[in-house]
A = this chain, B = another copy of it.
Amino acid sequence: MTRVTQAHIDARVGAIRNAARTVFARRGIEGATMSEIAAEAGLSTGAIYRYFQGKDDLIAAAFAEGRERTRQAFEKARATSGGMLEAIIEAGRLSLAEMMDHETVCLDLECALGSARAGGAIGEQTRAFREYTIDLVEGLVAAAQEAGELPPELDARGLSIVLNALVLGLGLLELEMGGRVDAEETLALLVRLVATPRSGTA
């Protein structure tokens, strides 16, 4: 009659998943050992297998956690009280803030690499999630254009792709350079580039 609450299980699952994220970022997915993850979580190797099927399951959970964080950031930005442009900027700000965390970036990169390789699940989920973020930003851009907050002549989807790529690329750059990317400043530059009315149309 040992009482093992769901809360306890959830806590363990969360702790292991976070430990995995940390170690995956530190050593890479393949380089991470279950022992190191267990140690990081303060457990023995075998304990992990009570909560996760195996390493693959843990990888999937770590990736899913990353997507969930981003998704929540986007939902929060979308719920901003300001205008459409404000929502876009807020989404960028939150995304960039996330990407300044090397752990997050490392996992995103591993995710991207995983999507380019065999084994279906990761690739499919990554692709689907990217579709989601691109669609979401495209929608925001279109709405902003309709509200007259963004120049109407810009291609909404193209701009969304550019903005998504920028966030990813800036994270990558920050990872490589370590502290040299100023998110706020870059955001300001972007706003100026995109939101400023142009003199000519072509």
Contact = CB atoms under 8 A, between A and B. Distances in A.
Interface of A: 25-31, 102, 105-106, 109-110, 112-113, 115-117, 126-127, 130-131, 154-155, 158-159, 161-162, 164-170, 172-173, 175-178, 181, 185-186, 189-190, 192-194, 196-200, 202
Say what secondary structure dominates the interface of chain A: helix
Contacts of A102: 116
A115 B178 CA distance: 10
A150 to B, nearest CB: 11
A107 B43 CA distance: 34
Contact of A112 (B164, B172, B181, B196): B172
A198 B159 CA distance: 18
A158 to B, nearest CB: 5
Copies of this chain, tallied across the complex: 4
Most chain B CB within 10 A, of A27, A168, A199, A200, is at A168
Contacts of A190: 162
A159 B30 contact: no
